[in-house]
A and B are shown apart, each in its own frame.
Chain A
Amino acid sequence: MEKKKLCLALYTGSVDKLTAAGVILSGAAADDMYVDIYVLLQGARAFRKDVGDNPDKLNMAENADMKAEFLASLKNLKVKTWVEFFREAREITDVKIHICGLAGKVWGGEKLEDFIDLADDIVGIGSYITAAQEADVNLFI
């Protein structure tokens, strides 16, 4: 069976949507997909070393007033943090994570070392478009 490609434009920097992205990545990993993730504007903030999966530094995209309940429920269900999901997916399948150069600059990240070790490189939008054209599944989260 030929491996399918998933291309994810990860715009969000919110904990709820990052968790959803992590769950989808897990499914892709279980299915042996090649995964290319392009981290756009808000997403790049979450990938900064001083943010990552620190829940105090991440907001909710929806139901912002229920963040504590949301996080408590995930913990109760033993659901991994978004960084753990991403890391685990990378252990199982071929996942490449690219930080958009502009997005990095917006949040004060010029170099790869400014981001958590999940990030593979800093790229321009042309790379994303090419990957999106070649992918079997395209998602924008």
Chain B
Amino acid sequence: MTAEELKDLKATKVVDARGTACPGPLLEAKKAIGTINSGDTMEVLSADEGTKSDLPKWCTKQGHEYFGTIEESGYFRIFLKKK
């Protein structure tokens, strides 16, 4: 997805994990994805640099669809769709 498309995306679930360091955001994402349905979208907010590469890899490995990441000032918005 392009950055413009991502900005317009209204995710089913938004997980704000900006308050935690690694492995916090990954675990927040893992727990949250269990609460949404197949085909739903999720947005994870993280200020942790490691999470920026970790989360897309985790997402793909788990079979979910990784849409992309938007960099904001001081944090990232990571978008995905549950398989």
Give the size of the chain A interface in residues (CB under 8 angstroms): 13
Which A residue's beta carbon lies closest to that of B33?
A30
How far is the CB of A127 from the nearest CB of chain B, in Å? 28
A30, A77, A79: the one contacting B26 at CB < 8 Å is A30
Minimal beta-carbon separation of B82 from chain A (angstroms):
14
- Chain B contacts of A79 at CB under 8 A? 20-21, 24
A23 within 8 A of B: yes
Closest B residue, CB atoms, query A78: B20
Interface residues of B, CB < 8 Å — how many? 15
A-side contacts of B58, CB under 8 Å: 30-31
Q: Please give, as numbers and ranges, the residues of chain A lying within 8 Å of B24 by CB-CB distance.
A: 78-79
Binary interface profile of B, 20-52, with partner A (CB < 8 Å = 1, else 0)?
111110110111000000000000000000000
**Nearest-neighbor residue (CB-CB) of B61 within chain A:** A31
A30 B30 Cβ-Cβ under 8 A: yes
Q: Contact between A77 and B21 (Cβ–Cβ < 8 Å)?
A: yes
Cα–Cα distance between A27 and B58 once the two chains are bound (Å) = 10
Write the nearest CB–CB distance from B20 to chain A, whole angstroms. Answer: 5
B26 near A26: Cβ-Cβ < 8 Å: yes
Pick the residue among B20, B22, B30, B61 that contacts A29 (CB under 8 A). B30
B19: CB under 8 A from chain A? yes
Contact A27 B23 (CB under 8 A): yes
A30 touches B27 (CB 8 A): yes
Residue-wise, chain B 47-83 has the 8 Å CB interface mask toward A (1 for contact) of 0000000000010011100000000000000000000
Q: Shortest 3 CB-CB distances between A and B: which pairs? A: A26-B23, A77-B21, A30-B30
Specify the chain A residue showing the minimal Cβ separation from B19: A78
Q: What are the residues of chain A within 8 A of B63 when measuring CB–CB?
A: 1
